[in-house]
Structures are given as structure tokens and as C-alpha cells.
Amino acid sequence: MSRFSKILTVIFVVLPLVVFLFVATTRKLHSKSEVVSGLAEFFGDNTKLAYERTKIDTYDPDLGWQFGEVFGTYNEPTIIGSSAVLVDINTGKILYEKNPTEKRKIASLTKIMTAVVALEHEKLDTKMSVSATSANIGENVMGLTEGEIYTMEDLLYGLILNSGNDAAYTIAENVAGSSDKFVEWMNFKAKELALKNTYFADPSGLDDDTYSTVEDLARLTRYALKNPEFREIVKTFEYEIFSDETHKYIYMQNQTNLLTTYPGVFGVKTGYTEEAGLCLVTFASNNNHDVVGVVLNSYDRKGDMILMLDHGFGTLGVVTDHPALVF
């Protein structure tokens, strides 16, 4: 960067930010999320600049990683889902595939990206308030009430374990200033990760205009798993939020299929709408082989994933013993 460019950056970016933060910190803000929302408003219609300037944590997108050799798929089992993939996320070996580049609706698998963007723009202990819009969004919910205040960490557990649409909208509104801006941020992130066949229409997955492919979702999940906070949340089976003066008590249990029944599964996310069908993203690790499986538009996502995992690990020479597996 030239000296002149540096001077312009100071004048037009750094100084306005310093002024804004000085004003913000001299006011009595109810929570840090107000500063973030304020920053989003400060940048006005320049959503991309707001997205860039409010990042606090990112990981290498590893754009050089590619889906590699199709390995052992000649005898792969037949599944019900319309499209699927199972990939070793270290080597890129494809262990199962069915219509891997077909664009399909993805329902609440959308929330993987919601979590990624939230974690890269806000801290877990940030307090976030629940709006009437978020509280009344409907369908799968965490159980939020208008006016309550939760930490983003609590909301992320509600987002993943309960697949809470109310949690998704509360996070979006508090992180980016509005759900619409947050969705733009989701699509910015999709572009950064080279998810060329993916588009997000809302932060929850209720809007069936959202679409992706199993390959893009596997790539997204591989990236998300780089974040240890994401890993911890998706592998958690149950979570409690204890009541205080700002919110009620909430108990949550992970809906992700196979988390407690298939050896080496560490969760990730389920999804369902009538148009998308039953969807599932699963991360599993056995004998130092880390795999991500994705199934879209099934009516037996659990059975499909078991067949894929058994086949994939078997191809790699790993025997998974699950005699007590419940279908």
C-alpha cells in the first residue's frame, strides 16, 4: 500500500471509526451488541464494508483443498436421498456420491452458515436482546420471548441443538443490525469460501429460496469445523440455560441424528421443510479418518447416513461396531 493510500485509509476509515467508537462508549449502552449494531448502522448501505470491518475471527478458507479421487464408490449402497456425498476432509477422497453438484433446497442446514458468520463477528459472551419479530418467527424454536436477553453462546446452542429459528433471527439482528444485512454477510462468506452453487435467503432456512449442493455443504462444514467453538457446540447432546432476571430457564437436547448412537459421530446439523425433505450433515472421526457426510431430500436421512458411513469407513479399512444402533 502506498503512503498516499495509507493516508486516505486513515482519513476515510480509521478516523470515522474512532469517532464512532468514542461516541458509542460515552453513551450508556445496554450491551456490546448495541455497539455492533451501531457499527452496522454507521456503515449505512455499505454492507460489505460493515462485514469486513466488524470481523473479529476468521480461518484460512483453504481454497486449494479440492474434492479428489473417487474412492471405492463402484460398490456403494443405494440410498433414498436425492443427492449425497461422503468425503474424507483431510485427503479429499470421495467415499460416496450421488448427484453431488445438483442444486437443492437445504432447510435448516442454512444454520451452519449462520453460526459461522456469527462466530466470526461477535464474542460468545455478548448479550443479545430478543425482538418481537424473532420471538414470533415460528416453526422450530428455542423458546425465546420478546424482551429477553441471552448471550450469543446460549443462542448458538439453541440454533444448533433445537434448530431454533427464533435464535437464528435474534443472532442475525444483533450481529449485523438486521436480518437482511446478516443474510448479505452470509452470501459474502459463501463467496469467500468459493461456494459457487450456494445462495442464502434467510438466516434460519425457513425460506426455500435458499439452495446449495452437497459438495458446497461439505466444503462449508469442513471450514466451520476449524472453529473449536463450533465443534464444541455441534457435538453437545444437552444444554441448560439457567434462569435469571433477564430470561427464563431452557433445557435443550441435540436433534442431530446418530450423535449418541454411531461410533465417532460428532454431530453437525439436521434440516427439514416440506419442499427440502429431510436433510442431514454429519461429521464423524474414526482411526484418524475425518469424514463429512451430507444427504439432501430424503425420507430416511438417518438410514441413508448409516449406509454411507459404514461404506465409507469400510472402504478406508475401518470397522465401525454399532450392534446397539437404533433406527
Q: DSSP secondary-structure letter at 253?
A: E
Annotated binding site for substrate: 269
- State whether the Cα torsion 217-218-220-226 is positive or negative: positive
Active site residues: 108, 111, 163
Q: DSSP secondary-structure letter at 72?
A: S
Q: 240 has which bridge partners?
A: 251
Give Cβ neighbours of residue 280 (< 8 Å, ≥ 6 apart). 256, 257, 269, 270, 271, 293, 294, 295, 298, 301, 302, 304, 305
Give φ, ψ of 20 to 5 degrees: -60, -50
Cell 429460496 locates to: 209
Annotated binding site: 269
| Other Cβ atoms within 10 Å of 39 Cβ, number | 19
C-alpha distance across the termini of the chain, in Å: 59
Report whether 282 contacts 270 (CB < 8 A). no
Task: Say how far apart CA 279 and CA 182 lie, in whole Å.
Answer: 23
Secondary structure (DSSP) of 268-295: EEEEEETTTEEEEEEEEEETTEEEEEEE
Q: Between the CA atoms of 42, 45, 47 and 53, what dihedral angle is there, to the nearest 10 degrees?
A: -30
According to DSSP, the β-strands at 289-298 and 277-286 are: antiparallel
